[in-house]
Structures are given as C-alpha cells and as structure tokens.
Structure 1
Amino acid sequence: MPATSLADWLRSASDDELAALLQARRDLATPPPSDSTVLATRAGTAGSTARALEALDTFTLTVLETLLVADADTEAVPVDRIEALLGTDPRPALERLRTRAVAWGADDALRVVPVTREILGPFPAGLGTSVPSLAEVDLDGLGEDERALLTALAAGPPIGRSRDAAVETTLDAAETPVQRLLARGLLLRRDGGTVELPRELGLALRGGRVAPESAWREPELPVAGHEPSTVDRAAAGEAAEFLRQLESLLTLWSEQPPPVLKAGGLGVRELRKAAKELEVDDVRACLLAELAAGAGLVADSQTTTPEWVPTTLTDSWLASEPAQRWILLAQAWLDLPRLPGLAGRRDARDKPMAPLSEDLKRPLAPAGRRRVLAALAELPPGAGVRGVDDLVAVLAWRAPRRGGRLRDEAVRWTLAEAAALGVTALGALTTASRALLGDDRTTALSSMAGAMPEPIEHVLVQADLTVVAPGPLTPELAAAIKTVADIESAGHATVYRITEATVRRALDAGRTADELHELFRTHSATPVPQSLSYLIDDVARRHGRLRGGAAASFLRCDDEVLLAEVLGNPVAAEYELRKIAPTVLVSPVPLAEVLDGLRAAGFTPAAEGPDGRVLDLRPAGRRVPARPKAVRRVLAEPPPATPEQLAHVIAHLRAGDRAASRRRGTEVRLPGGGGGSDTAATMALLARASREQREVWIGFVDAHGIASQRIVTPAHVGGGILRSTEDEHYPLHRITSAALVED
C-alpha cells in the first residue's frame, strides 16, 4: 500500500475539499498557511486536533479509535479491516474524519495523525497492548473466576490493580485467578501491582467487535406532542411568576442591600434571607440574583463597604410591559457567561462557590446553553422531551468530548433554568424562544405578549379583609393595592391582606380615606365588606392628629392633652422632644426617626409638608448608576468563513505549493527586504522577467510579518511596486529574495 504523507494528501486535494477542511477547522486558516506542509503540521498538533475531535459524534470517534486499534497512526490500513473490527460500514464516519484531516488516504491505505493516540489515551476503545500470539488462543478451559476477571477488564479500561501481580509463580503453584492468568500469559504484568489485558483477548471477549452496536446510532429521543399555544401559555405563566419574584428581590435589595463578600459574591446567609423573603428555594434565589446582575439591574456599589444595590436601570425595567421585561431577562440569560448551577459547590480549594462571584464565571456557558436549546428547536413546534435524561443522552452521543466534566450537569441546569424563566414549558421550546434564538426580538416580544394573560383592572375583596387578584393587575392598580395591603400568597392568583398597619401605611403615603374608599369601590368585583370601610374610617380618624415637621423636626397637635402624653412617654427623652408652644414640640432628630419612634411607642403620627398635606417619608430604595458593559456573545459555533475568505487562503496555499515545487535559478537576496546593494540586481532581474514574460520565484513578507513564497509573472515594475499579470501588487521593500524559475 502506498505511504502518502498528510502534506502530500492535502496538496492533491481539490479546492472544495480544502475549503471544507478550513471551514471545519477554523484555526488552521489563521494566519493563512504558506503551503501544504505548514497546513499539515498545524493539523497534526495536539491542540488543533483536540478541538477538531470535540465536534465529532460517538460513532465517528469509535471509528477513529478503531483506526488506532489497527495502528493506523503508524502504518496504512485498509478499510476492510476497520469494517471487520467495527461490524458496520465506517465510510460515512471516515468522510467526516477526512474532511477534518484527522484521517487521510484512500480506502486501501488509511492513516490518522499520530497525535490522536496521545489525545484519546493509551488504550483506544478500552483495549490494551497488542500481543499477536494470543490472536487464536482458546479460552474454553478457563474457570468461572478467571473468565469473570477477564470479562471485567475487557469492558475497559484493560488495567487492573492487584497485589497478586507481584508474585511470579508457575501455573501449578498459582493460587489466585490473577496468578493463574499471568502464568498462562493471558495477562501482562505492568508492575508489581498492575496487570493489563492484551488487545487480542479483549476483542475476543467482545465478540471480535471494538464497540457495541449502541455506539453506531444516536439514541432515540422520546417526545410528547402539545399544541404550541398550550406550551406558550404555560411558559408565560412561569415567566410572569419569575418576573414577580425578581421584582420582589429588587424591592428587598433596594431597602436592605446585602453586603459584597470580601472575596466577591453574595454570602450564604444573605442568599437564604432572600430565599425566605421570596418564598423560594436557594437554587431559584441564586438564579434570580445572577440574572439581576447579568441584566444590569443590580451591581456592586464599589464603595468602602460595598453592597449589591439595584441600578438606575431598575426603574425603567419595572415601568416596562411584562413581555419587554421578559425579553431583557431571557436575552441576558442566553448571553450569561456564568453557570449559576455551580453555586454552593466546592472549588479546587474545597471552598464553596458563592453566587455573583468570579468562581461561577464560564466564558463558554452561552455556547452550551444555545446548544441545548438548539436541540429542542429541532423538534416540531409544541413537541417536548419526555425526560431530561433522554436529552442528556442524545447530546452526550452527539459530542461526547465537548463540555468537560460538567457536560451532563450543564444540560440539566440549562433545562431547569429555561423552565423557570419561561423559555420552555412542558419540555418544549416556546414560540417566543424560537424567535429569540434566531435573533428576531420583534417576533419574540409579540409572541410572549400574546401568550401572557391580559392585565385586569378588578380584584375580589373578601369579608376577612383579604383581596384576591385573579390574574395580573395593571401596573397602576397593582401599585395602589400594594400600598394598602401586603401580599399574603403569590402565584397566578395573588392574595393580599389588609390590616390596620397597611391602611396607616397608605395614609402615611398621602392617600386619604376617601381615596381608599374610591379605590375599592371602583375596582372590587365583589361588594366592599362593611368591616373594611369601618377599618379605613377608624384608622383615618386617628391618623394625622399628631403632625410633625423639620426643626430638625417638630410635632404639633391641637389636643394639648395628647402632647402632654407624648412628653410623659420615655420616647420624649430618647428623641429630645421639648415644648415650644402649647401645641408644638420640636426635636433635633430627623423627622423620619422621630415618627418611627412615636409609632413604636403606640402613637399614630403623620408627616406634614409646608402646605400642611401629609407626606410620604418612606425611602424610595437605593440606586447606583448602571454601568454599561459590552455583551460578548459566545455562539455555539463561530460564524462560518465567507467564500471570499476561503478562496484567499487557498490561493495563498496553492501559491506556496507552486513555489516549493519549482526549480529556481541563482537567487538574489535582499537582507531585511529591500534596500542595499542588491536592489539594482533585483530590479534588473524583475525587469528582465517582465520583458521576457518569465516566471519569478520571490520570497515575500506580508504586513503581518508572515514570510511566504510566491511564483509570479511580472507585468510591471516601478514606483516601488511589483505588479503581476494576475494584477497582484507586491511592495518591493517586502520582497526578501528573487530568482528566475528554471524550466
């Protein structure tokens, strides 16, 4: 069989074949190789080959391992031998390997790049060292324990640890299965504690096949069909709940920003506090925090005591329509270069990895996320996977070497996060998510807006002073209800609770009793219970009788007895209250603190503005400036090279091959490229070649400092430029040598 090197095989390849190679292995074209020898050298490096293997499926890798079992890295082997070892036709997989220049040669002389053995390990397909003398050995006389040991090693890897390997004995004196197998020569002794099963025995115990039939074809992916509208509605419900939870997190951190850990990130105590407040588990709380930061809604305050504080983008996000808020979060999740699922796991130093810390950063996370969603996008609209593990198995078969040790876990995390965010539902991709994956934000926005339930403008007020919102409320009504009631339970139907404290809070915010009565009268679909009306009137009657202003602060009241009661209370001494008039007290303490103290003591004061109206002194929540950051999208696959780019690289390659294969005459060298005493000789040589229309071999250094060789026919030499008959231009100062091509 002819021995052809990889460089020779590449040199004989067509332009289409070279284009396919450069498209499949983008790293080979940067910078453009000067000739086929350079291209072959690059294709045979460990780093480049390992990247090429990441895109191969299980069957193709099995064929590659079979080639290594047949020692195709050291000698040419025929395809018939590979087919016999494999038990099926390897040609489709061989074409994929040839396209990537991992294997090359005709069917009667197949070879693989030697570095593949280093990448795939010393035992390809889990088979050991070859011992040809064992090819026809008879295993029928072995005992059950000996056969069981060999069968276990035959499954791979072929290495076993045993103290019996240190004992050298005869077959008659052997006491254990390992000793008897070593004495028969059916195991190889690697050292005093390790034995190895020879390749021939491993193949025999596998029935003569390198791999089982399960490696030949992709596993089935069971799916369940749903109406796309059903999937969209279910996802919209999850999305609405996620938006509500994130809004609650932003409100919580506006009032009580958690500190940033010294090493960066969010502490376990703060995470659990947020989870308790939001009534979610730690995993959901971590995802909410990561997405809030990833979307730019939360940032490190970067002060002397840094805290995680909502940014100025929060207010515009909260004021947006639900579908617009979802689009921002879904896009941020797709492009998030982090793995929230790692939170809580321990790093190499056995320390737990904190949310929002650098430990969770994984630049290739967006590519892995899109790969999982792309697999779902291959299914018909509305079709969803029945089980997570089914999709994990399919993706593992498609690219077993991609994703590292977290390959399967990352798929599970992606599916769980997608379901929580409303990107998927019932195991299927939504219409909006399909559009978002295709960068069609307009369609995604309209699809999600259409799937979300229409906001309603009514509530159900119950006799037990609960208010039920049977769906999402309009932003105005939701804000009004939150002012006068606390959320008791959230979900698709939110239940609020009205108490004396919540009514007082609404009055503190500037609402009047008449406005509260009007709110429930106009927006309650049920009759307003008399108990609610009584509660509002009772609180309003007592509210604001005691009024305060800034002196730093003052208190005034027409009821002198009430002022006397305040002065007699310990709170007067705590806040240094003193009477300056029969109906006025003043304090050097800020008004908000005085009012909080009085309320804690059982009084019901109200803040008063310069015009006598009630003021809302509740803090609006902290904000820090939003820091714009460039979003670097990492795609599952880099963008393909254009035909023009490929043509340029191939032309460069072919020119180098022609230059290397042609004989050249006496060479004129220009040290450093151009200039010096050789310039005249070079000009004379080029001028002669132009007159006689002869080919010239030139050494050339491009603008990137890359040296190459060219065969050109000069059309014109002048103005410091050599112009070829192909209308290519070469600055003379970049030409390092020149010679006429010999016939």
Structure 2
Amino acid sequence: MISELAQRLRALGHDGLLALLKNRPESVLAGARSLQRLAAVLDSPGAVESALERLDAGCHEVLRALCALGDGCTREQVEQVLGGGAELDRALRELAERFLIQLDEHGSIQLAAPLRTLRTAGLGRPIAKLLNAHASTTVRGIAEALGLERASTKADTILRIAEFVQDPAQVSATLAKAPGSTAEVAMELARDTSGAFAFPGEPTAVRWMIRRGFLISADQCRTDRGPFEMPREIGLALRESDDRATLRPPPPEPPTNVVDPAEVDKAAALAATSFVDGVARLLDHCATDPLAMLQNGGVGLRVLKQLAKVLKTDQHEIRLWLETAAAAELLSLDDAGHLVPSNLADDWQRLAPAKRYVWLGRTWWEQPAAAMFSKVVDKPGPAMLPGDSALDRALRIDLVTELAALEPGAALDEPGLLNEKLAWKRPMIYRSAADLVDPMRVNWAEAEAVGAVARDALSTLGRCLSDDQALLDAALRLLPRAEETVLLQADLSAVVAGTPSGDVTSTLNLMAEPEGRDTASTWRFSPDSVRRAMDQGYSAEDLLGRLAEISRADVPQPLEYLIKDAARRFGQLQVRSVRCCVLGDEALVLEVSRHRALRELSLRVLAPTVLASGKPPEETLTALRKAGYSPVQQADDGTVVIERAVATDDRPPVLVAQPHYLDPAPDLPDEAELREVAMHLLAQPDDVARPPVMVDLVENTPANVGRILAERAAGLSDLELELLEEALATGTDLEISYRDQRGSCTTRVITPHFIAGEYLESYCHLRDDDRQFRLDRVRAVSPLKRRPTR
C-alpha cells in the first residue's frame, strides 16, 4: 500500500515535485525509482541531514524551536518562543516545501521522522523519557527536592515533575534558590549546543542540579556519574529566561558599484590567460628540471620559493598552478620520484588556449580545498598535500552563486561584507561571518587568479564555470587565439606575442631554451640547444624547415649559420661501448686527449683516431658536451644511436590523495535531469513500488560469493577479491575506490553486508547510511588504514 507521504508527493503534480527535487536533490542521488521509494528516501536520516545543510539561519531557528517544543506543537506555541511575523511564515513555508515539517488539519506541526529525535536545538530529551529509565526512588527524590507532593505511582510522579518543569517561572524560581555559582553553571550548560555533558562543572553545583532533575545521568544505577543530560524542558526554560530567541532576518545586501561588464571580462581574460600560461611554464620547467618531492609526497617550501623565483611570481600562485595541474592529471612522477609532465601534458599543450583554460578552470572549480591557503597562514606547509577542510568547494560555489544573482557589472564595494550573508544562508557549514574571513580571502584570491572574478565583479567566465560547453563558448570568445607564427631575430632569439600554439611551443622547445613567458614568450637558440635537437635525430635541413613553417619571415642568417655550424661539428666524435672508446679525426682526437676539463675521463690514446675512456658512454658523452664538443653515440655495429626524447606514455598522472571524509559530494543533477526524474516518478502507478531488495541466500553462500565477485567485479585483482570476500563473511570495514555514473571516482569506507544482484549492499561511513554500490564500478579495494573520522 502506498504511504501517506507518497500520496502527498503525487498530489504535488509535476511542477511541485520538480520544486521539491530541486530543494532535496539528495533524493535523486539515492536512486529513488518510484514515489514510494522517494518517500522513504526523503524521510531517511541521511537525506534529512543533507537537507539541513542547505537551510538558512532563519529556518534553523524555527526548526530548533519546533524540535524543542516537540512533535505536534502549534504555530501559536512557536510564536511564543520566537515571535511572529513574515520571517516566521517564510521559514515555516520553506520547511514545509522541503517536506521537513507538515501542518495537519488540526493546526499542529508534524516533524519529519528523523527530526523527532534529532537534537537540532542542542537540547536534551524530554524529562519524562529520561526519568522512565531510572528507579522509583530516584524519581521520588527529585519530586521531593522540587517540593512536589508524593504520588502513588512512579508514572504519576514523573507526570507531576514534567508539569512543574514546563513552567519557566517555576524553573527560574527554583534556580534562584541554588547555592553559590550553581545558577551560572546551569545557564552555561543550557546555552551549550551539545545537550550532553561528561564533566559539567563544579561538584556542588552538579549535585544540586542532579537532586532536582536539572541534570539526569545516563547511568540508571549510579545517578551521580555522567555523562549527564539536561532535560529539554529545563534547557528551554533557562534559555527563555536568559534571552528570548528571535528570528534573525536576512542580512542586508552588501553595497555595490557599477563597472563596465566589458572591462570586467577584459581583466578576467588577462587573468585566465596568465593562469593557463603559468601552468604551461610550470610544465615546461618540470620537463627540463623535475621538481623534488618530500618523503611525504608534498612539495617543500624551499622548492616552492625557488620555483617562484624562476617563474617570476609568488609561492601562492605557484601552489595554485601546481595543485591545479596535479588535479588536472598533467603531472606525474619519474623513476626518481620527481615531478615531471604526465602523458596528458603534451595533449593539453597542443590544445587552443580556450580549451586549455576549460580543462584547468573546471578542475579548479571541483577542487575540495583551496591551494592558496598560504595567504592566511603564518607558517604554511608544503604544497600538494591533502587539505584538512572541504569547505572551500562549498564556499566557491556559494560565492559564485551570490555574485551571479547581481546584475552584470555589479561590483562589491568590499567583498568581505558578503561573509555575513553566506553565514546566514549556510549556518551548518560556515557557522559565523567571523569564521569566513580567512576562507573568503583565499577563495576570492583564487577566483581572481583564474579569471572567475575581476574588478570585484563576476566575469562571464565565472558565470559559466559549472557548464563545460558554456565555459568553452565564453573562453573562445574572450581568450586570445593561439599564435601560429614566431618572430625570429638576428640576436638568436625567438619572440611570440601572446600565447603560442602547441606546434610553435614544441618546435621552439626542441631547438631553443625558453627565457620567459608573459604577455610575450621568448626563446633563445644556442649551440647546445641545437645540438640537443640533433641528438634526437634531426638534421640541419629538418630544423630549418620546421622554423620556416612557423616564422613570419625568412630565417635570419645568424640563426641559419648557427644551425649549419652545429651540424658541421655534430658527430665529429663518436663514442662506442667498450667502456668506452672515443673515435675521431687524428688532430681532433689529439686535442681532446689534452683537454684539461676532460681529465676525469682518464682518456688514453689507443690509436691516432681512437681514445679509450675510463667512464661509461653516458658519462663520457656528458663530459664531452660540457667541454664544448658535439659527440654522437655509436652502437656496437658502428651505427649512430639517436637519443629520443623521454617517452611519457608510461607516466600515469600523480593524484593528491584525499581522505575519505574529505571526499567531495557528487555533482548534483541539473534541472533537465530533475525534470525527467519528476516525469518518470509521476508516470509510475501507485501500486508499483520498487520491490524491496531480496537477498538471494543461495547466491550469498560462501561457496558462491567468490565466483559471483569474480564475475561481477572483474576489474579487481585476486587479492582485492579475497579482501572483499573476507569482509562479506566477517563484516570487516574496507576502503573502496568507486566510480559513479558520472565517471567521478570517490573513496569510501564501507561495511559490506551482502550481494543483491549487480549491487553490493553496504553501510557507507561517509554518508552514515546504507548504500548500494555496483560491483562493476568498484575500482579498488584495500584494508582500512584507520577508523573513519566522524
């Protein structure tokens, strides 16, 4: 039979159901396939907790009052606590629209099931419930201490105590007679939002409150031992006597001024170009000078400062480039454990600037933690380590959402004034405006660095960050196109005004040394850089031909002479493996044998054209090149060994590990997807609900579990399958890497229960709820390294 809540969902119609799904998108992520299933999801603790995170401070104040008053209270009772007015009406309406409360025909307000026991107000349970578990003698002692007449039964005594504490005046009068600092301790505990206390204060004050039921022990046998709980009625009465709770209205909009949207986009385009160019320069540097990593995997402060000096920026921006490049899978680790470009870096470099920006911009948008935290820390730690907070992504999204609500070109007079509004809109996440000062400063700086914000206003790029296609269209319109030509100069330099294309960059990197990249990029040719290109098998004709293809004019004569001279000298000496021999013309060999810089090779003349070296071929080649020669290496048969550039196909990206409790929430469905879900749910008949999961006992027998896992989780190794099979048998916690339907990979700590068809039914520690995981999407399984932090 369809539930009452499911009937209410059908009565909403398409538009009403769509509005509900927008407010409660977690229900879609949970896989609701019918109205009956959607009703169950909406009323689950995990979904309600997610909904609470999106409530503003006004709704939370009303919800605290409702939880304190208890299920079935009336609007008039709420008014007695908070006062009436339009703000109360708005909060009640929003809570009802989110199915967190329901107003019945009698005017009483019913709470969603999880809220009936949730201590949202920071208050304990009702005194009757707390006393029911205690002995009759304890209950009678509390009644006598409060001056109440003795009743014939325990239940009647509890009823008289409950009636007494429901009167705030009587509670205040009783507390006024308390000795010493008891009143101050009681008021402090009443303001505490935890609702339960292990060591609540001075012994004298505690004993006085225990005797009168102001504190009740959770231990039925030893009522003088904690933890203690302050009954809901006592806490509410003390809070009312302290200061009357009032609804906080929304804070005023921060003041703005008007700027030209075209100027905003122009400044944003410059920042975005600099961001893309900075990552490109970083990759070029890592290709020639790999970055050393610390033992814990991070990049140390000394390396960051050196890199900032080389790339002519500060360490804050270096952190942003590094962590964005790593998250975009553009960096890898070489055999020595140093950072080098990954196998995707070349593909990224060959893209147009707009597409490079989309790759990086979307990566930055989805980062859980801010990279530029060093701006607000006195002693910042290394870069590329897991952050200790996932607040930044939520703040980034809310910041852009608030700015997008303003008219284009509306700039904030003081961005920090936005903290008050954000703290009011998301009190469960941001707590207070003061707590947002440093996070806002960091995220605002990053938004400016990537071009999302410019001149204190949201740019067109910032408005499109959540949409790949829209962001690409905006980037193609605003960012300059890649330069396909280069100005070759007689001083052996090459200049590209603007952003060089991937072909120009790769050609110049092949035969010249990069000198600087800013509004213009420069390279310089030298005998060593040209020789390095010839080491990879290119001839003088090849190099001159490639330069002619990208040059705006003819190749300058000095550069042509340099390349031809390098080709003439190239290969005059040959190094062959013996350990090794150096071959060449008699006069040249004699010159080399007497060269002071080559003493470390211990060269000996074997014949007029042959020298014996005491070092291996690689060291001999390096020493000869350092001395100014252009040797080539020969194979055993005398053929020239061409030194190819290091292949990157076997360099997988290096990813910064995120603890499972920092695992970013999956992307919420967009409006088109929600509209489709609403139509599908309403199309299902009421009597066709998703059947409950039936556990196939035969399938889950020990004899079959291993075979089933091997078939349905084929991507796992034998060891991972054994771990999963053992966990199913013993109920052991595991850590899994799981790829959702959108392709995003997350890490979860689970307790597997059983196999149901294609799914692994498990308890998810991150979501604090039972979840289904498709076996073919489980990418990795590992033992739990530590218990999840809650």
Above 0.5 in TM-score? yes
Task: Render the CA deviation track for 1:76-132: whole Å, top value 9, x for unaligned.
Answer: 22347427723423222212212233222248322334643654445369xx99662
Matching residue within 4, 16, 41 for 2:12: 16
Residue aligning to 1:104: 102
Query: Are the structure 2 counterparts of residues 164 and 467 from structure 1 closer, same or farther at C-alpha, using a change threshold of 3 Å?
Result: same
- Could you tell me which residue of structure 2 aligns to residue 394 of structure 1? 421
| Residues 308 and 314, structure 2, Cα contact 8 Å, conserved in 1 | yes
Report the counterpart of residue 351 of structure 2 in structure 1: 320
| SS class of match (1:110) | strand
Work out whether residues 258 and 409 of structure 2, in 8 Å CA contact, stay in contact via their aligned partners in 1. yes
Give the 3-state SS of the residue equivalent to 1:53 in structure 2: helix
Instruction: Tell whether the 8 Å contact from 2:255 to 2:412 is kept in structure 1 after alignment.
Output: yes
Aligned with 1:505 (options 512, 529, 551): 529
* Alignment correspondent of 1:287: 320
Structure 2 residue 593 is matched with structure 1 residue 564 = no
Inter-CA distance 474–53: structure 2 relative to 1 (3 Å threshold): closer
1:77 to 74, 79, 83: 74
1:505 deviates by 3.3
Task: Decide which of 313, 336, 341 is 1:310's aligned counterpart.
Answer: 341
SS at 1:217 equivalent: coil
Between the aligned partners of 2:414 and 2:47, the Cα distance in structure 1 is: 35
Contact kept in structure 1, 2:513 and 2:529, CA below 8 Å: no
> 3-state DSSP class of the match of 2:12?
helix
| Cα distance in structure 2, aligned partners of 1:422 and 1:32 | 38
Specify whether residues 163 and 388 from structure 1 end up closer, same or farther in structure 2 by C-alpha distance, changes over 3 A only.
same
Q: 2:187, 2:242 within 8 Å by CA — same for their partners in 1?
A: no
Q: Is the contact made by 1:466 and 1:495 (CA closer than 8 Å) also made in structure 2? A: yes
Equivalence for 2:408? 381
SS of equivalent to 2:686: helix
Q: 1:444 to 1:394 in 2, by over 3 A?
A: farther
Residue in 2 aligned with 1:683?
Answer: none
Residue 162 and residue 402 in structure 1: after superposition, are their counterparts in 2 closer, same or farther (change >3 A)? Answer: closer
C-alpha distance in structure 1 between counterparts of 2:237 and 2:678, whole Å: 48
| Structure 2 Cα separation of the partners of residues 34 and 635 of structure 1 | 22
- Describe the SS at the equivalent of 2:345: helix
- Report if aligned partners of 1:484, 1:503 keep a CA contact under 8 Å in 2: no
- In our comparison, the structure showing a higher alpha carbon Rg is 1
Cα-Cα RMSD: 6.1
Trace 1:473-622 onto structure 2 (pairs within 5 A).
490-493=517-520, 502=526, 504-506=528-530, 509=533, 544=569, 547-552=572-577, 560=587, 563-569=589-595, 572=598, 574-579=600-605, 582=608, 585=611, 587=613, 593-600=619-626, 603-607=627-631, 620-621=645-646
Give the match for residue 65 of structure 1.
64
Cα drift, residue 625 of structure 1: 3.5
Equivalent in the alignment of 1:444: 472
Give the aligned partner of residue 287 of structure 2. Answer: 254
Partner amino acid, structure 2, of 1:439: D
Letter in 2 for 1:76: C
Give the stretch that moved more between structures: 48-57 or 186-195. Answer: 186-195
Find the aligned partners of 1:431 and 1:164 in 2 and give their Cα distance. Answer: 56
Which residue is 1:681 aligned to?
none
The percentage of aligned residue pairs carrying the same residue is: 22
Q: Partners of 2:242 and 2:619 in 1: how far apart?
A: 83
Pick one of 85, 92, 101 that aligns with 2:90. Answer: 92
Q: Give the equivalent residue in structure 2 for 1:422.
A: 451
Question: Residue 628 and residue 243 in structure 1: after superposition, are their counterparts in 2 closer, same or farther (change >3 A)?
Answer: closer
- Residue 299 of structure 1 aligns to a residue whose secondary structure is strand
Q: What SS is found at the alignment partner of 1:316?
A: helix
The answer for the alignment partner of 1:665 in structure 2 is none
Once the two structures are TM-superposed, the CA of residue 323 in structure 1 deviates from its matched residue by 1.8
Taking the aligned partners of 1:542 and 1:24, their CA distance within structure 2 comes to 70
CA distance in 2 between partners of 1:8 and 1:123 (Å) = 30
CA distance in 2, matches of 1:483, 1:654: 64
Against the structure 1 CA distance between its residues 620 and 629, is the aligned structure 2 distance closer, same or farther, given a 3 Å change threshold?
A: closer
Partner in structure 1 of residue 774 of structure 2: none
Structure 2 residues not aligned, in runs of 5+: 128-161, 217-223, 635-639, 656-662, 692-696, 698-755, 760-790
Question: CA 1:651–1:198 in structure 2 vs 1: closer, same or farther (change >3 Å)?
Answer: closer
Displacement of 1:16 in angstroms is 0.9
Q: 1:201 to 1:365 in 2, by over 3 A?
A: closer
| C-alpha distance in structure 1 between counterparts of 2:569 and 2:35, whole Å | 89
Once the 2 structures are TM-superposed, how far is the Cα of residue 286 of structure 1 from its aligned partner?
3.3
Q: 1:262 to 1:493 in 2, by over 3 A?
A: closer
Matched residue SS, 1:111 = strand
Moved more, 378-387 or 409-418: 409-418
Aligned 1:18-417 pairs, distance under 5 A: 19=17, 24-25=23-24, 45-69=44-68, 71=69, 73-79=70-76, 81-82=78-79, 85-89=82-86, 90-106=88-104, 108-113=107-112, 115-116=114-115, 118-121=117-120, 123=122, 132-134=167-169, 156-157=191-192, 165-167=202-204, 199-200=236-237, 202-203=239-240, 205-206=242-243, 208=244, 210-211=245-246, 215-258=248-291, 274-300=307-333, 308-336=339-367, 340=371, 355-356=383-384, 359-360=386-387, 369-402=396-429, 413-417=442-446
CA contact (8 A) 1:548 1:555 kept: yes
Alpha-carbon offset, residue 280 of structure 1: 4.1
Distance 2:404 2:166 in 1: 49
Shift of 1:152: 9.1
Classify the secondary structure of the residue corresponding to 1:606. coil
Q: 1:545·1:557 contact (CA, 8 Å) conserved in 2?
A: no
**Structure 2 vs 1, CA of residues 433 and 93 (structure 1 numbering), >3 Å: closer, same or farther?**
same
* Contact 1:363–1:634, Cα closer than 8 Å, also in 2: no
Matched position secondary structure for 2:363? helix
Distance 1:580 1:231, change over 3 A: farther
Secondary structure, aligned partner of 1:401: helix
Closer, same or farther: CA 572–25 of 1 in aligned 2, 3 Å: closer
Mapped to 1, the partners of 2:65 and 2:21 lie a distance apart of 25
Q: 3-state DSSP class of the match of 1:440? A: helix
User: What is the aligned partner in structure 2 of residue 695 from structure 1?
Assistant: none
Letter in 1 for 2:362: Q
Could you report, residue by residue, the CA deviation over 1:380-417 in whole angstroms, capped at 9, with x for unpaired residues?
33334444433443333222224799988666554433
CA 1:152–1:271 in 2, change beyond 3 Å: closer, same or farther?
A: farther
CA distance in 1, matches of 2:168, 2:394: 49
Equivalences, count: 604
Cα separation, partners in 2 of 1:545 and 1:263, compared to 1, 3 Å: closer
In the TM superposition, residue 50 of structure 1 has moved relative to its aligned partner by 1.6
- Give the partner amino acid of 2:347: S
Whether the 8 Å CA contact 2:190–2:235 is kept in 1: the answer is no
Structure 1: how far apart are the matches of 2:313 and 2:444?
A: 18
Letter aligned with residue 457 of structure 2: A
Do the aligned partners of residues 598 and 50 (structure 1) sit closer, same or farther apart at CA in structure 2, a change above 3 Å counting? same
1:635 pairs with one of 667, 672, 694: 667
Seen in structure 2, the aligned counterparts of structure 1 residues 57 and 574 have a Cα distance that, compared at 3 Å, is: same
